Amino acid sequence: MVAKQRAGDNAEPLSVGELSQALKRTVEDRFGFVRLRGELSGVKRAASGHLYAALKDATAVIDAVMWKGNAARLPFRPEDGLEVVASGKITTYPGRSKYQIVVERMELAGEGALLALLEKTKARLEAEGLFDPARKRALPFIPKTIGVVTSPTGAVIRDILHRLSDRFPSRVIVWPVMVQGQGSADQVASAVRGFSAMPRDHPDRPDLVIIARGGGSIEDLWSFNEEIVVRAIAECTIPTISAVGHETDTTLADHAADRRAPTPTAAAEMAVPVRAELVATLADFAQRKRRCALRPVELGRERLEARLQRLPGAEALLQPQAQKLDDLAERLRRGLMDRAALGRERLGMLRLSPAALTRNLRDAERALQGQRLVPALARRPLAERSEQLAALRRVMQSLDPELVLKRGYARVTGPDGRTVTDRSAAVRETALTLKFRDGDLPVVPRAGKPASKPRGANLGKGTPGAQDDLFG
């Protein structure tokens, strides 16, 4: 059936696009700004950077879209199940005949939603091992340079500097950042990564990094719960201290850092020791070392004094020798006196006089003149010794075996040069030498029957040495 315009009907048919545009204008005019509270579902971030999700409650669902510029400024990471308050305008999507909300601002719906998001983020990062205690590093004992990531105008940096100057004055490099509000998380993460990226030989590279902020609500401290900050702290190559909030405040940055400080002032106390206490400790160690070094000397002195008290004195040691010397001196004196007395007695007995001395002298002269010394008395012993020497020489010549060889004899020697005198000994030798007067003749002994007796060896018929009858 062909559509026909009826008489009196002035309603022109609308196209689908015209209707969609009319609906779009009507909805946008009526709902140009709304705030919706609901639970996120199907959160998806496109490659273009736009964020797509759905807001739902117990009875209805509405699609939501957040353009790239606004999505990049979100202070948290949208996830399924989070309850949020979205502000924007309602519009339609003609391509699918759907209505949706274009979100310009998104906030968590109360502290409960923040805590829920915090727990989800914590569980996810903990599963990755970012909070593993095995990753924690020891802090340097005395850092030469300390890097502080905080606001340069707050009371936090003044408290840290004041505490450091009281305990151990150190070089401090402040990396100024915002610690609250939009973009603060990016600045904190960039500061931590900036310190970590410094070369190890860079003069400004700190030995310790402190991330500090004063106290506040969970919303004020939320930048330190952002994943970008937590990952920057966990990946930092420099030991870190997280000092965010007061003692009761806990952020994910505290779990990722190597050490958590309850307050920024406590972070300064953790960073450096007390210089006065170190000086006192060193002085105590020096005193103890001195005492340890002197103690053996004192003990040795005490032992030496104890031994000296037990040793006898010089007088006691020399007294026996002195007494012996006095005794010997007395004996010497008496001996000399006795010898002198004996000499006087013998001298008195001799009764020496000039006449007696003259007589003794004349007797000695006459005895001396009677001893007439002649050369024959000296030559006679010399001649006797010469005859004895000549006799020994003749005996030696008669015993010389070489002289015997000249008379036609031969000498038999073994390999070692010794004279062989027995036949049995000669048979046992491997080689023999016959020495004649004109030279040596090497021979080899041969064992066997003795050779036949030479003719004429025994001429007698019964009596050795008897001559046989030449005729019979």
Cα(158)–Cα(148) distance, integer angstroms: 11
Task: Reply yes or no on whether the pLDDT at 171 is more than 90.
Answer: yes
Domain ranges, ordered by start, for the chain: 16-109, 120-276, 402-443
Cα(352)–Cα(360) distance, integer angstroms: 11
* pLDDT tens track for 105-122: 888 776 666 677 778 888
pLDDT bracket for residue 207 (50, 70, 90): very high
* pLDDT tens track for 301-323: 999 988 888 887 777 778 888 88
**Average pLDDT, integer, range 9-34:** 77
Nearest alpha-carbon partner for 203 in 166, 173, 164, 245: 173
Cα(36)–Cα(84) distance, integer angstroms: 8
Identical fold between 16-109 and 120-276: no
What lies within 8 Å, CB to CB, of 396 at 6+ separation is none
Rg (CA), the chain: 68
Tell which CATH classification among 2.40.50.140, 3.40.190.10, 3.40.50.300, 3.30.1490.20 matches the domain 16-109. Answer: 2.40.50.140
Helices (H), 131-206: 155-167, 184-197
Helix (H, G, I), strand (E, B) or coil at 139: coil
What is the residue-averaged pLDDT of the chain? 83
Q: Is 97 exposed, middle or buried (0-12, 13-18, 19+ CB in 10 A)?
A: exposed
**Average pLDDT, integer, range 453-470:** 43
Q: Is 404 exposed, middle or buried (0-12, 13-18, 19+ CB in 10 A)?
A: middle
**Average pLDDT, integer, range 334-345:** 88
CATH architecture of 120-276: 3-Layer(aba) Sandwich (3.40)
Task: Reply yes or no on whether the pLDDT at 184 is more than 80.
Answer: yes
* pLDDT tens track for 140-157: 999 999 999 999 988 899
